[in-house]
């Protein structure tokens, strides 16, 4: 969340009366004092506390949120309200509510765990396109999480010019955070066999034996996904690419024919690529993975031209 860090520093400077450069020097000094045991985002929050800036008393913008932040207060517009889901895991059951909220700076997913909050969705008191106020939320894996200690209510405020797209930031893999939209230059260092699945041509959801839960009997579309590992020297990460982008890497025959795939795999291993996509948390393993929505070979002439700028 490099862009968020810059916004946070600006927020601290604005509320403290100090220059941005002074805040940055304080952050660097705090990191040095703690021998690198704290991130710059964490150091910024410590500096804010030392300057008597309490986030639990301040309303911030979405772009100012950084990892580890607690007691977040903000106002935003619901731009995508998801159906309430039920869960039953490890002997615990309940419901989860979620939606995407946006303001003039960015957007973020909000997750509700408290039944009272979820019931607001069920009753239609919190709805699509509605503006809401959130108090005492916590950032977790790039999402805002609300518990029974949080508050959520409809707001009479108007929010215009909301930001629907998150900016794509150029980062090292070691700096990736959950829900980041990022771009990076990295080498393909490991590749696995393609996996295949089928989807409904109407709703694009998974179909089993040409059966869709929503549309019944269908002629399912065959799709593929490929897992591989990228490494940029700072760290490595497992990545996933689906059919549309995968077919930019190799032909359908190379995807489906094991012998042709083996040849193409050998050609791609060790190749440097520019990869773009979103960092997500794998729900099964709890680790970050990179969902690729764009990739291209490194154009050295273009790269040199950009560096010269």
Q: Could you report the per-residue pLDDT of 217-256, keeping only the tens digit for each?
A: 989 999 999 999 999 999 999 999 998 889 888 999 999 9
User: Do 205 and 273 belong to one domain?
Assistant: yes
Q: Please check the confidence at residue 92 and state whether its pLDDT lies above 90.
A: no
HSE of 252 in the Cβ direction (CA atoms, 13 Å)?
A: 3
Which residue has better confidence, 302 or 31? 31
User: Do 190 and 292 belong to one domain?
Assistant: yes
Residue 106's domain comprises 55-164
User: Do 95 and 191 belong to one domain?
Assistant: no
User: Do 22 and 108 belong to one domain?
Assistant: no
User: Do 27 and 60 belong to one domain?
Assistant: no
User: Do 81 and 205 belong to one domain?
Assistant: no
User: Do 215 and 284 belong to one domain?
Assistant: yes
- First-residue to last-residue Cα distance in the chain: 24
Q: Please check the confidence at residue 40 and state whether its pLDDT lies above 60.
A: yes
Domain at 124, CATH number: 2.40.50.140
User: Do 176 and 299 belong to one domain?
Assistant: yes
* Domain closes at, from 14, 30, 53: 53
SS3 213: coil
146 pLDDT tier (thresholds 50, 70, 90): very high
User: Do 216 and 177 belong to one domain?
Assistant: yes
User: Do 156 and 216 belong to one domain?
Assistant: no
User: Do 228 and 271 belong to one domain?
Assistant: yes
* Domain closes at, from 32, 53, 74: 53
The four Cα atoms 237, 238, 242, 247 give a dihedral, to 10 degrees, of 70
Q: Please check the confidence at residue 88 and state whether its pLDDT lies above 80.
A: no
User: Do 17 and 81 belong to one domain?
Assistant: no
**CA distance linking residue 140 with residue 66, whole number of Å:** 10
* Domain closes at, from 135, 164, 193: 164
Tokens of 98: 């979620």
């Amino acid at each position: 969340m490099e862009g968020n860090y810059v916004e946070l520093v600006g927020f601290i400077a604005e509320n403290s009366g100090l220059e941005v450069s002074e805040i940055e020097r304080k952050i660097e000094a705090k990191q040095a004092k703690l021998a690198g045991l704290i991130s710059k985002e964490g150091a910024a929050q410590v500096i804010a506390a030392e300057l008597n800036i309490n986030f639990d008393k301040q309303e911030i913008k979405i772009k100012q949120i950084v990892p580890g932040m607690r007691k977040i207060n903000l106002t935003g517009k619901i731009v995508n309200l998801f159906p309430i889901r039920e869960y039953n895991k490890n002997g615990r059951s309940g419901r989860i509510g979620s939606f995407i909220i946006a303001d003039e700076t960015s957007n973020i997913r909000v997750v509700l765990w408290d039944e009272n909050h979820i019931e607001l969705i069920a009753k239609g008191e919190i709805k699509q396109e509605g503006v809401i106020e959130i108090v005492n939320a916590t950032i977790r894996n790039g999402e805002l999480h609300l518990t029974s200690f949080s508050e959520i209510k409809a707001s009479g405020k108007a929010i215009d010019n909301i930001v629907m797209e998150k900016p794509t930031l150029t980062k090292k893999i070691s700096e990736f955070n959950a829900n980041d939209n990022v771009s990076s230059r990295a080498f393909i260092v490991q590749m696995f066999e393609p996996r295949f699945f089928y989807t409904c041509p109407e709703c694009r959801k998974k179909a089993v034996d040409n059966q869709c839960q929503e549309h019944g009997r269908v002629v399912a579309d065959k799709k593929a996904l490929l897992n591989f590992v990228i490494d940029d020297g700072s760290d490595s990460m497992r990545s996933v690419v689906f059919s549309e982008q995968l077919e930019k890497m190799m032909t359908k025959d190379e995807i489906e024919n094991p012998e042709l795939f083996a040849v193409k795999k050998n050609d791609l291993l060790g190749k440097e690529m520019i990869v773009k996509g979103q960092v997500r948390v794998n729900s099964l393993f709890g680790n970050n993975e990179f969902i690729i929505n764009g990739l291209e070979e490194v154009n050295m002439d273009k790269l040199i031209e950009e560096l010269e700028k």
